[in-house]
């Protein structure tokens, strides 16, 4: 039986990729942010997961406003990034894991989730930046990645309760997969932020802290929020909390918080990082 050993919530902003490329992680602006990743990298190195299931949102690289699946899942042998205009350099392709992808798709459809299946898909900063952060020097090619993409750009967006339920269904699917793979789940984005409009630059770190507390002890409490609530309380792009809820839904055991960091502002966001162990 494949086993989910833990979940990680992480920021995904493109400026992180640019900061790594430029080697400025030790400057006053970035130091607290990058220092936060040291224990998470160390944990990943120690545990050596075989598979990463990664919840992210495609900001327009592959899925623009003209075609926007609510939920999509990758089932490709390999994933490439591409120029999004943020200045992130090309990185080595990400390795896929088609067998478990298809098993998850089968189980999701059987359980009344109907994802778009992507056998060829480019992946954006929502997926690549956290992987580069977790695996220094882009050393992620030995781990197999399953992208799970949630619409967070165009209304109507799936409710937090639905994203949490999607995570539950994926968690159950992994546990019914024959094999002895170690799986880690990532949810990327957030936390509070708004990139445009009258409230551009809006943050709510008090709410972010509350969310991180609830992600450990009472994730169901977060599923009571509507998308409109999240836009108001956490900013228009604070809806990326949905990715963290998908990640948390996958954790089936008793959950312990092993590490947390929250730095604000980093670019336009409150940048969160949380490592949850599935015990």
* Residue ranges binding Fe ion (CB under 5 A): 189
**269 interface partner picked from ligand DHB, Fe ion, none, CB below 5 to 8 A per type:** ligand DHB
**Smaller CB distance to ligand DHB: residue 98 or 205?**
205
**14 interface partner picked from Fe ion, ligand DHB, none, CB below 5 to 8 A per type:** ligand DHB
- The tally of CA atoms less than 13 A away on the side-chain side of residue 41 is 16
Subset of 177-216 contacting ligand DHB (CB under 6 A):
189, 193, 195
**Smaller CB distance to ligand DHB: residue 87 or 136?**
87
Q: Is 81 in the site for ligand DHB (CB under 6 A)?
A: no
Q: Is 132 in the site for ligand DHB (CB under 6 A)?
A: no
**Smaller CB distance to ligand DHB: residue 201 or 253?**
201
In 122-235, which residue ranges form alpha helices assigned H by DSSP?
125-134, 160-175, 205-217, 219-222, 227-234
Min dist CB 152 to Fe ion, Å, is 7
Q: Is 127 in the site for ligand DHB (CB under 6 A)?
A: no
Specify the stretch interacting with ligand DHB by CB under 6 A; choose among 29-37, 131-139, 212-220, 263-271: 263-271
Catalytic residue among 59, 125, 155, 259: 125
- The tally of CA atoms less than 13 A away on the side-chain side of residue 35 is 9
Are residues 54 and 244 in contact, defined by beta-carbon separation less than 8 angstroms? Answer: no
Specify the stretch interacting with ligand DHB by CB under 6 A; choose among 109-117, 175-183, 218-226, 266-274: 266-274
CA distance 248 to 185: 8
Residue 63's φ and ψ, nearest 5 degrees, are -120, 95
Among 237, 242, 261, 274, binds ligand DHB (CB under 6 A): 237
Among 8, 59, 118, 238, binds ligand DHB (CB under 6 A): 59
Q: How far is CA 10 from CA 131, 183, 230, in A?
A: 10, 17, 18
Active site residue 125: yes
- The tally of CA atoms less than 13 A away on the side-chain side of residue 72 is 22
**Smaller CB distance to ligand DHB: residue 49 or 126?**
126
Q: Which residue's entry shows tokens 């545990």? A: 47
**96 interface partner picked from Fe ion, ligand DHB, none, CB below 5 to 8 A per type:** none
Residue 10's φ and ψ, nearest 5 degrees, are -150, 150
Q: 155-161: long-range contacts at Cβ-Cβ below 8 A with a sequence spacing of 24 or more?
A: 155/227, 156/227, 157/70, 157/227, 157/239, 157/242, 158/70, 158/71, 158/242, 159/223, 159/226, 159/227, 160/222, 160/223, 160/224, 160/225, 160/226, 160/227, 160/230, 160/241, 160/242, 160/245, 161/223, 161/224
**15 interface partner picked from Fe ion, ligand DHB, none, CB below 5 to 8 A per type:** ligand DHB
Catalytic residue among 80, 155, 193, 259: 193
Active site residue 103: no
**168 interface partner picked from Fe ion, ligand DHB, none, CB below 5 to 8 A per type:** none
**Contacting positions for ligand DHB (CB under 6 A):** 13-15, 59, 189, 193, 195, 237, 240, 267-269
**Residues annotated catalytic, as ranges:** 125, 193
């Amino acid at each position: 039986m494949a086993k989910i050993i833990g979940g990680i919530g992480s920021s995904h902003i493109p400026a992180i990729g640019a900061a790594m490329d430029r080697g400025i992680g030790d400057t006053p602006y970035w130091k607290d942010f990058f220092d936060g990743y040291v224990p998470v990298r160390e944990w990943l190195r120690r545990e050596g997961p075989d598979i990463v299931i990664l919840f992210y949102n495609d900001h327009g690289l592959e899925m623009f406003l003209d075609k926007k699946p609510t939920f999509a899942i990758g089932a490709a042998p390999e994933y490439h990034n591409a120029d999004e205009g943020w200045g992130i350099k090309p990185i080595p392709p990400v390795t896929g894991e088609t067998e478990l992808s298809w098993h998850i798709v089968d189980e999701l459809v059987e359980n009344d989730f109907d994802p778009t299946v992507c056998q060829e898909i480019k992946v954006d900063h929502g997926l690549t930046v956290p992987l580069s952060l977790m695996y220094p020097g882009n050393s992620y090619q030995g781990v197999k990645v399953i992208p799970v993409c949630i619409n967070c750009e165009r209304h109507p967006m799936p409710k937090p309760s639905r994203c949490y339920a999607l995570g539950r269904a994926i968690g159950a699917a992994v546990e019914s997969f024959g094999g002895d793979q170690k799986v880690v789940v990532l949810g990327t984005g957030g936390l509070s932020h708004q990139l445009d409009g009258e409230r551009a630059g809006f943050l709510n770190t008090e709410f972010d802290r509350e969310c991180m507390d609830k992600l450990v002890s009472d994730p169901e409490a977060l599923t009571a929020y509507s998308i409109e609530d999240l836009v108001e309380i956490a900013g228009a792009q604070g809806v990326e909390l949905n990715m963290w809820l998908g990640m948390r839904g996958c954790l089936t055991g008793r959950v312990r918080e092993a590490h947390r960091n929250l730095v604000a502002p980093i670019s336009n966001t409150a940048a969160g990082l949380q490592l949850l162990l599935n015990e």
